[in-house]
Structure 1
Amino acid sequence: MSRQKSPPKPIDERLPEIRTTLERAAGMLVCLDFDGTLAPIVEDPDAAAPTQPNREAVAALARTAGVTTAVVSGRALADVRERIDGPTVYAGNHGLELARGGSIAVHPVARKRADRIQRVCSVIETVLESVPNCRVENKRLTGTVHVRTVSKSAEPIVRRVTRDIVDRFGGDDLEISSGKRILEIGPNVPWGKGNAVELIAADEPPRTAVVYVGDDVTDESAFRAVEPDGIGIRVGGDEPSSASCRVESPAEVESALSWFASTGAKLIAHPAPTGAARAEPTRPAGR
């Protein structure tokens, strides 16, 4: 059963539960969102890059025995693969594209509706051309309308026009979801990041502990997929979430990943005896 939404606790307060989860595990799968998690949110999406500490932390995790790493992003698969090296698995377009085991799988319905996504993105871009700083990103299988740099007065217009065009040209085949000052346009299929995480986890050995780190509304399905047996970590404030714990920013993500690569991996390899005292030499969020 998935964990009900409630304010996630700071990760330091969840260390005993995290330790218990890892001590019971035979391996670890760490799945990571990109924007707002490994990379700070920036006004220009093309300028997004993981922080150097996060880049190094992901590389360290990828080298750790018993640990599999994956990036699960709303960006197109080719885009996110260029931005971060090291993970074994990549999922793009909210899981509609999945690169694993040397092959790439694309959701069949998303593939069929790609032309419609491109047409809708083109129409929106034309209609909103006069709105300063409004950007429409065509990711082939999905599209994103960015309103982060749009004026407050123009934002309702952008949202209304986008919805009207998707309704007119997409019908029941396309849907809109909201994120952090973005509108996501995608195929109307029951598929998201959580489904991708479940597919990735199915390739892992039994008793693998699954960790998911993300910051946005689209990450909630992944939190639901891993909780309560795994570990969901929300990046940001204490708004209700299906994640059980949180860190405040991408800067704190590095501390958490470093903890999983060192202390966490050792707990899997050498679980502490029941009732034994447990030292806390390193804390994941550096608080």
Structure 2
Amino acid sequence: MQFTSPEAEQRYDALLTVGAGLVVALDFDGTLSPIVDDPEQAHIHPDAGDVLVELAGKVLAVAVVTGRPARQVLDLGGLEEIGDAVAAAGKELYVFGQYGNERWSSSRRTIVGPRPPQGLATFLRELPRTLRAADAADAYVEDKGLAVAVHTRRMPDPESAFARLLPVLSEQAEAHDLVVEPGRNVVEVRSGGMDKGLVVERLITQLGAKGLLFAGDDLGDVDAFETVTAYAGEGLPTLLVCSASDEQSALVPLSDVVVPGPAGVLALLRDLARRLP
């Protein structure tokens, strides 16, 4: 792992003093699972289960905070089975899907979430015409129930298609009182009022966290990084981990540690688990 400053290395050492009061929050795509062309095949890294169970035994709680639907990430991550092992150790695994609009935990075992936002159905009906007008009719559309994600990764020139679509979809979303969440060659349209920063705030306040580590890889994690930074300014021990890639570097300037993708994230978490008391 690569620390971004001497102060960042000191923040990592400070986390070790927090011990059982530490909450670890992790993005899924690009952080626990590799980025792939087909989002339905983004399975969790094969080492993740063992690492998360080992880590959960040393900290207050582990949470997966993702833009994906909770049901989808539970299946792709094998998180129900991991949750069983975490619960057997007397600890808790949380999953916050769709930027915190859906919630699941290893103790309650049910997904709780709201109805789809008003305007989303109309946005979805209008989407094919919008894509054709932006010369992006071949974009892959993923209906998440509470959101719609438009992926350009499979297109001949993903970056150009993304650049054309972002302003068009942003305008269309605003017309239906929806918000846009850009990511790696994907534009997600969803309801406002919830983001990963709010999830982090609730984890800290509701669990009484004595410290927090957050790991992410993409623009959708910026809200969480900014919230963690604010708590660090108030004296809470924190660590921000960027799962870096050639595609996205927005989080690097905000991070304490930069690691090479999911394998690097898991190596850091394994090191943390083994150094915690």
Q: Taking structure 2 as the reference length, what is the TM-score of the superposition?
A: 0.78
The answer for unaligned runs of 5 or more in structure 1 is 1-7, 267-287
* Matched residues, number: 248
Tell me, in whole angstroms, the C-alpha distance in 1 between the residues paired with 2:15 and 2:130: 51
After TM superposition, give the deviation of residue 245 of structure 1 in Å.
2.0
Residues 104-152 of structure 1: per-residue CA shift (max 9 Å, x gap)? 5436xxx3x5352233123214653784641111112222111112233
The answer as to 2:242 corresponding to 1:234 is: yes
The change in CA–CA distance for 1:24 and 1:243 in structure 2 (over 3 A counts) is same
List per-residue Cα deviations over 1:71-98 (Å, max 9, x = no partner).
Answer: 0000011111112222511101111222
Amino acid corresponding to residue 257 of structure 2 in structure 1: C
Which amino acid in structure 1 is aligned with residue 50 of structure 2? Answer: E
Q: Secondary structure of 1:128's match?
A: helix
Cα distance change on mapping 1:70 and 1:24 into 2, 3 Å: closer
Higher relative contact order (CA 8 A, sep 6+): 1
**Structure 2 CA distance for partners of 1:157 and 1:213, relative to 1, 3 Å:** closer
Determine helix, strand or coil for the equivalent of 1:39.
coil
Distance 2:69 2:227 in 1: 22
Mapped pair 1:52 → 2:54:
no
2:71 alignment counterpart: 78
**Pairwise CA distance, 1:241:** 3.6
**Counterparts of 1:12 and 1:32, CA distance in 2:** 24
Closer/same/farther in 2, CA of residues 242 and 213 from structure 1, 3 Å limit: same
Contact preservation (8 Å) 1:114, 1:141 = yes
Higher helix share: 2
Bigger Cα Rg? 1
> What is the TM-score when the length of structure 1 is the normalising length?
0.76
In the alignment, what sits opposite 1:225?
227
2:211 corresponds to: 209
Letter of the structure 2 residue corresponding to residue 174 of structure 1: L
User: What secondary structure is seen at the aligned counterpart in 1 of 2:153?
Assistant: coil
Distance, in Å, in 2 between the alignment partners of 1:212 and 1:188 is 22
Unaligned runs of 5+ in 2: 84-92
Aligned pairs for 1:1-287 (under 5 A) are 9-10=3-4, 14-24=8-18, 26-62=20-56, 64-84=57-77, 85=79, 86-87=82-83, 88-100=93-105, 102=108, 104-106=111-113, 111=115, 114-125=117-128, 127-128=130-131, 131=136, 133-152=138-157, 154-168=161-175, 170=176, 173-189=177-193, 191-205=194-208, 208-227=210-229, 228=232, 229=236, 230-236=238-244, 239=250, 240-263=252-275, 265-266=276-277
The residue type paired with residue 97 of structure 1 is E
